[in-house]
Amino acid sequence: MYKYNISNTIEYKEWNKNLEKSQYANFFQTVEYLNSQAFDENNYLRFITIEDEQENIIGQLGIIITQKHQAYSSKLFSKIFEMFSDLGKRGSWAGGPIIHEINEEKKIEVLKKIILALEEIGNNEDLAIIDGYSPHLDFSINERYINEYKKSGFDVNSFLTFVTDLNEDLNYIWEKIHDSTRRDVNRAEKRGLIVKELTTLDELDQYFNLNKIWAKTKGIELQFSAHYKENYWNCLKSNIEKLFLAYEDNELVSSHRLGCFNKIAFSHKITNSYSKPTSLGGPLLTWFAIKWAKENGIRYYDYSGGQAPSKSDDEQRKYSEQWDSLLNYKRKWGGSEYPYYHFVKIIHPFKYKMFRLLTKPDWTYRDYKRRHFKRPKAEN
């Protein structure tokens, strides 16, 4: 009844126009965002479309294929990774698939076709792993939907996100925010932090430099190619993303990437330099972005989230170390909590296992550097 197509390129206006038929499609599945991630010969795209009998597009999913993985801790490990690049070839997506059928039976049939297309991509591209995240605001996802992935060999991990309905009064949104977070916003304003939208190439260079500084606090060495910068600049010019900057004493201390599509704002990444003993740029930027989104007719503000709590007592400690701090911070913004899911399929278990073994030293060295990074201390 339905058929799937896999293509290397897509007509971006038609693709995005179809996305907007959905109430939950966000910027992750737009051509502009996907193109910004396909910034060199190491990264390329595949587009899945599902058509009905009348050749109407009723399902969409954009996939990013990564051939070689960059080591985070040092250039030496990156060179080693290049020698074994085929072990970790990966296909990934976020915020999809987008299915335009409302009827549950038809939606499941579309999903089955998308999973078949994913299997074909995995085989044709010789992927070691394929994985993706469901749309945050697709409230129709149920056990039957999830089981279709499981039947095809995907593991399913539960995640959660936090969302504010911007149809609510701004004062009410402010009152729902935790007292400590509101105090941080007020402190930032009293300290004289200035927020502005990124509008120039010089500010873009400042932003990339900020990311390098932030990365060092995490034990990471980042490099940005000229092609990547150009692609990201084009993404910003399309208004699919907004980038807000916070300055303190004329120094860029924080940035906030905000995805904007289909009247959904998605808090993609907040970056801090940690050059000050207390970092207040993040809270001020988030509140600024909420106000900006409401003023510009956005329906929902998605703070993003993380993995749902583990049900295993043995895994709870590790989970708490990784997620508690982040999720507690996001909860303080007063958004409603919603589930979403991470689907993972290991296509070549041996290759993937070997790749994981090869990356372990990189992660260990990265963690060592992170733990030994010295941040500024508050004066007595």
> Which residues touch 1 (CB under 8 Å, ≥6 apart)?
52, 53, 109
Query: Tens digit of pLDDT per residue, the chain (380 long)?
Result: 899 999 998 888 899 999 999 999 999 999 999 998 886 778 899 999 999 999 999 999 999 998 876 655 556 556 655 655 566 689 999 999 999 988 999 999 999 999 999 999 999 999 999 999 999 999 999 999 999 999 999 999 999 999 999 999 999 999 999 999 999 999 999 999 999 999 999 999 999 999 988 888 877 777 788 888 888 898 899 999 999 999 999 999 999 999 999 999 999 899 988 777 667 899 999 999 999 999 999 999 999 999 998 777 677 778 887 888 889 999 999 999 999 999 999 998 887 777 767 677 666 766 666 666 666 654 44
CB atoms within 10 A of CB 378: 7
Place of tokens 């900020």: 210
**Pairing mode of beta strands 90-93, 129-133:** parallel
Supply 96's token pair.
């999809």
Output the pLDDT for position 380: 40
Q: How many helices, marked H, and strands, marked E, lie in the chain?
A: 13, 13
Write down all domains in the chain, each with its CATH number in brackets. Answer: 3-158+342-370 (3.40.630.30), 163-339 (3.40.630.30)
**Residue 195: strand pairing partners:** 246
Which pairs count as long-range contacts for 268-274, CB under 8 Å and 24+ apart, including other chains?
268/27, 268/241, 268/304, 271/210, 271/211, 271/214, 272/214, 273/210, 273/213, 273/214, 274/213, 274/214, 274/217, 274/375, 274/376
Supply 122's token pair.
């995995």
Output the pLDDT for position 67: 82
CA neighbours closer than 13 Å in the CB half-sphere of residue 52:
11
DSSP-assigned states of every residue in 69-133: PPPSS-HHHHHHHHHTGGGG-EEEESS--EE---SHHHHHHHHHHHHHHHHHHHHHTT-SEEEEE
Of 162, 144, 136, nearest to 29 by C-alpha is 136
Q: CA 271 to CA 282: how far, in whole Å? A: 8
Q: Running DSSP on this structure, what letter comes out for residue 375?
A: P
Q: Running DSSP on this structure, what letter comes out for residue 67?
A: S
